[in-house]
Structure 1
Amino acid sequence: MSIKAFTDYLQLERNYSQLTVKAYINDINSFQSFLIEEFGDSQLNKINYTQIRSWIVQLVESKISNRSINRKVSALNSYYKFLLKIGDIEINPLLRHRALKTSKNIQVPFSEAEVAIAIDELKHEDDYEGIRNKLIIELFYTSGIRRIELVNLKLSDVDFSNKTLKVLGKRNKERYLPLLNSVLKTINRYLKERKELGVIEDNQALFLTKKGVRIYETLVYRIIKEYFSLASNKVKKSPHILRHSFATHLLNQGADLNAVKELLGHSSLAATQVYTHNSIAELKKVYSKAHPRSKK
């Protein structure tokens, strides 16, 4: 019963997405299965930190990354905070837990030249999929939209008169993003091709597969990887790197950090500040060239 109540709490009170809720519940169910296997007991509200520690050790021995383990433990911690809130437990067994150390992965953004190659120089077939793929790349780079946000876009989210795009972000928070004239032109081309699809099963979705169903996340990932494999030699090529490039290039051109935060849909400035290391590198170049004492 408490897991069902926790699910409702995440969906209704915290406004978490279905994917996030599913991930939380999967992690809790995984821990519960471990308890049954190792201790013959599945009562989550009667366990201690020693049992949780044993689970963490098993995860480490399974070669799961520390980052993934921390995410699983975080989900469990949220569950115990909920049980504490409703009075089902008196002490959170994870109260004094310290997260495992993780290495910081530096995400290298695409250069402006690489993005230009992917959008302007690579051959985009003049058919439905070619125009759709080009539009996806343009939207990622000119709006900083997340992959799941792009997948969930509706036709009605595009406002041609105001040149804006309505996006439903994390925790169902809406934000409006500006659309460049060049992107609006591509949208118009795409919509003409979309009307020519033989069968459309999802009339509301903006992006569809050629079979007329809503586009899915793995396909979006493959599209970005395919085009940027031709435009860039960087190891990682993904929608998130393109979002990262959007933020970095704005900051390099002097955009206000708070403005970039709003465009990205971040809830805190700290989340946006991870993109500033690239803009600082750019500032150092400008500084070394321009400051009168830099050559001494």
Structure 2
Amino acid sequence: MELLELWKRHLEKTKSERTTITYTNAIKSFLKKLNINENLLEVSSKELYQYADSSELSPASLLTHFSAIKHFYRFLTKGGFLPKEKLSEIEETIEEIKEDYGLHKLYRRPKALGKKELEIIFQKVKGSKYENIYKLFLYSGIRLSEYKNLRPEHFFLDKSGIYWIHLPAEITKRKRERMAPLIGPSREDTYRFTESLDKCLKNYEETLSTNTGSLQVYTNRLSKRLRIHFSLYSFRHTYITNLINQGFPVELVKEFAGHANIKTTIDIYYRFNQERAKSIVESFLRG
């Protein structure tokens, strides 16, 4: 564990005693739980997700652990022990986990985009490739890392006339196969999107494919320009919220979203919503 000792000495010079102890214990816990002491330079996205999924830590402690993990691998990269590409993969995965678990804002739930916000965003990108891509994120709940490896053959049209997305295990972070319907806030919106997607899939590279780094940069700049706080993950939050508001049971939402644990779906997304409650009661009374 020579690299771990090097990092610990670096912490002792740059961090407080308390932070040094906390970060060191966090890394030891991470390596021990996943049994990757001998291959710590080869940690995968799947293992990072496994750590989050199996952890019994509180959200605040889990956030601290991932801060320590990120700091550790950044140190290794600066020292030339880890390629920059590998660090980027680790950091991207950690950010996705934070989003999935609501760790960015521990005391504020993920925010779904409102109707007015979506109208402003889509009006600004109307007629461009970004309109198609944003709608794909909004209607599928796909993660950025999954989008990176998405291909036309991952879409299929069912008998009801809507598209589903089939993500093979090898392109998902948790390495678990996933299927999800491409649906929007209403039946009409869903079928309109189906028609537009049908055209886009015939020329996928021109209409739906782009560099993920450029996509993130464009989205960040657009967010600042429009003064609407949103990211690509905001579309995923909105997709999941739409499913819940439409009355989909939690076990289905969990599968469509690709959450490993139903507790994640419930804790982050399911909360009392007066409008949804009223709608469900009215639907029951109509028989």
Tell me how far 1:105 sits from its aligned partner. Answer: 3.6
Partners of 1:84 and 1:226 in 2: CA distance: 39
Alpha-carbon distance change, 281 to 169 in structure 1, aligned in 2, over 3 angstroms: farther
Tell me how far 1:222 sits from its aligned partner. Answer: 3.4
Partners of 1:84 and 1:101 in 2: CA distance: 19
> 2:270 aligns to what SS in structure 1?
helix
Flag the structure with higher helix content: 2
Q: When the two structures are superposed, what TM-score results if normalisation uses the length of structure 2?
A: 0.55
Query: Counterpart in 2 of 1:155?
Result: 152
> 1:164 aligns to what SS in structure 2?
strand
Tell me how far 1:260 sits from its aligned partner. Answer: 1.2
The one-letter amino acid of 1:176's match is M
The one-letter amino acid of 2:217's match is R
| Contact map agreement 1:151 1:207 (CA 8 A) in 2 | no
Residue 242 (str. 1) matches residue 204 (str. 2): no
Query: Counterpart in 2 of 1:251?
Result: 244
Cα offsets for 1:192-242 (capped at 9, x unmatched): 5556x6xxxxxxxx9533xxxxx22x33333444555576x54x3111122
Q: When the two structures are superposed, what TM-score results if normalisation uses the length of structure 1?
A: 0.54
Residue 35 (str. 1) matches residue 8 (str. 2): yes
What is the alpha-carbon root mean square deviation over aligned residues? Answer: 4.3
Partners of 2:147 and 2:125 in 1: CA distance: 23
**Correspondent of 1:183 among 179, 193, 201:** 193
Cα offsets for 1:26-56 (capped at 9, x unmatched): xxx5x443235478xxxxxxxxxxxxx94x5
Residue 79 (str. 1) matches residue 31 (str. 2): yes
Query: Counterpart in 2 of 1:222?
Result: 217
Q: How is 1:265-284 mapped onto 2 (pairs within 5 angstroms)?
A: 265-273=258-266, 274-277=268-271, 280-283=273-276
Residue 111 (str. 1) matches residue 105 (str. 2): no
| Contact map agreement 2:31 2:37 (CA 8 A) in 1 | no
The one-letter amino acid of 1:80's match is K
Partners of 1:259 and 1:38 in 2: CA distance: 44
The one-letter amino acid of 1:151's match is K
Partners of 1:57 and 1:184 in 2: CA distance: 51
**Correspondent of 1:57 among 11, 14, 19:** 19
Query: Counterpart in 1 of 2:53?
Result: none
Query: Counterpart in 2 of 1:142?
Result: 139
> 2:178 aligns to what SS in structure 1?
strand
| Contact map agreement 2:138 2:238 (CA 8 A) in 1 | yes
> 1:106 aligns to what SS in structure 2?
coil
Partners of 1:154 and 1:177 in 2: CA distance: 15
Partners of 1:84 and 1:169 in 2: CA distance: 21
The one-letter amino acid of 2:230's match is K
> 1:176 aligns to what SS in structure 2?
strand
The one-letter amino acid of 1:144's match is G
> 2:174 aligns to what SS in structure 1?
helix
Identical-pair percentage: 20
Partners of 1:181 and 1:156 in 2: CA distance: 20
Query: Counterpart in 2 of 1:50?
Result: none
Aligned residues: 206
| Contact map agreement 2:164 2:179 (CA 8 A) in 1 | yes
| Contact map agreement 1:261 1:272 (CA 8 A) in 2 | yes
Query: Counterpart in 2 of 1:9?
Result: none
Give 5+ residue unaligned stretches, structure 2. 39-56, 64-105, 183-189, 281-287
Alpha-carbon distance change, 255 to 75 in structure 1, aligned in 2, over 3 angstroms: farther
